[in-house]
Amino acid sequence: MNLETFKRDIQNRYHALESENLESKVSSMIAALSTDWSTTPSQLSVQELRTFTGAMIEEEGRTLYGELEELMAQKERLERQIARKSEELQHLKYHLFTALEKELGDHDESLKKLHQVKLNSIDLLEILEEITESAIITTMEKGSDTQEMIEEIIKEITFTALNANVLNAVRIRRILSSILQSALGIAEASPNQADVILRGTLRGIHSALIRSIEKFRQYLLYVPEEVKALYRDEYKTIEVELDNVDTLYSQIIHALRAHNDPLLVDKLSTINNEMLSSSNELTLLSRETVELLRARLAKIKKGVTERGSQLLKSKSAQEAKAMGVRAWSVAKAAMEGAVKGAKDAMDKK
């Protein structure tokens, strides 16, 4: 039997039955095997049966395939627009801060303040809620496979925002809080789709965080020891945060409760618990990364090799270290403030 001819004939025959319901179409096609091709389903080979069913699926799902292709094209266009605008905004911010740093010269106190502003301004953090809101609303307007589309879009937005080789607890919490805040706002305005919005958002964040930790893990495997020596203390703090990543979501959700509908926050918490109980991938990956980080930290000694010392004394390395130290001090201060605020809130309760 010529499979190409067989497939074409099946599709033509099936298309002619478009006014009938699905069950009637299948019955008619089974009958046609006997009348038109002198065979039965049991006599077909695996390849022939695959061709037979595949031809019917293609014909029956023609409209859905078309809609799916259009949705994927829309998703790709949106991702390209986000990536392009993100890159443009990043270049603008970097150029502006570079110009400001040149004007400030060597005034250390002013540079420290500027770098605090820079830390809070760079990487789309200032407009992350607006980007998230626009992406979710655009997805909802399309009205098809909403949860899956929201999950994919949020995954890309979150991963792009997290874009850093050195994970930082303050940065992670701010990004996740901003995205969840947007999702809660839209869910409150669209109660009938609240579950879909929150579930898709949480799953997207979860996937992006796993991807980011894996990226950090790969970074640890290949970054030179001399570079790690610059961030020895920072890595120790990251180690603690990763070791407690399973409590990250609950802490963020608890913080969101003060400014959102309690019922929606409860729903978010329930979905989060369901998601975490069904998969321990995030916890396992975090623990593996912690073990790797500990192994790498053990190799970093107070003194570095002669080649490493020369590298660390170079002007570019010193500038990088200064920026890194300032950024880390800002993040650390913010982290300590957040922890203190959470403890104070719990003590009051």
Contacts of 136 (CB under 8 A, 6+ apart): 150, 153, 154, 182, 183, 186, 197, 201
**To which H or E segment does residue 72 belong?**
helix 62-104
How high is the mean pLDDT of the chain?
A: 75
Same domain, 36 and 82: no
Residues 70, 77: Cα–Cα separation, whole Å: 10
Structural domain including 34 reads 3-60
Say yes or no: 200 and 313 in one domain. Answer: yes
Statement to judge: residues 76 and 22 lie in one domain: no
Whether residues 205 and 126 share a domain: the answer is yes
Domains: count for the chain:
2
Question: Residue 183 and residue 161: Cα distance in Å, rounded?
Answer: 16
Tokens 């499979």, located at residue = 3
Helix (H) or strand (E) holding 65: helix 62-104
163 and 17 in a common domain: no
Write out the two tokens for 81.
Answer: 């627009």
Domain-ending residue, one of 13, 33, 60: 60
Are 45 and 68 found together in one domain?
no
Reply yes or no on whether the pLDDT at 116 is more than 90: no
260 DSSP 8-state letter: S
- For residue range 148-199, what is the model confidence (pLDDT) as tens digits? 888 888 888 888 788 654 566 677 888 899 999 999 999 999 889 999 999 9
Q: At what angle do helices 281-299 and 194-222 cross, to 10 degrees?
A: 20
Of 120, 127, 129, give the one whose Cα is nearest residue 170. 120
Tell me, what's the pLDDT at 321?
Answer: 44
| Whether 189 and 72 share a structural domain | yes
| Same domain? 157 vs 27 | no
Neighbours of 183 (CB within 10 A): 28
Q: pLDDT tens-digit profile of 251-263? A: 888 899 888 999 9
- Tell me: the pLDDT tens digits for 4-31? 888 888 888 888 887 678 888 888 888 8
261: left (phi over 0), alpha (psi -120 to 50) or beta: beta
**Contacts of 189 by beta carbon, 8 Å cutoff, 6+ apart:** none
Block residue for tokens 């389903």: 41
pTM, full prediction: 0.52
Q: Are residues 200 and 312 in the same domain?
A: yes
Upper half-sphere CA count for residue 187 (Cβ side, 13 Å)? 26
Same-domain status, 246 and 322? yes
172 & 320 share domain: yes
d(Cα 79, Cα 135) in Å, to the nearest integer?
10
**Count of residues in the chain:** 349
Reported confidence tier of residue 96, pLDDT bands at 50, 70, 90: confident
**In terms of domains, do 247 and 182 share one?**
yes
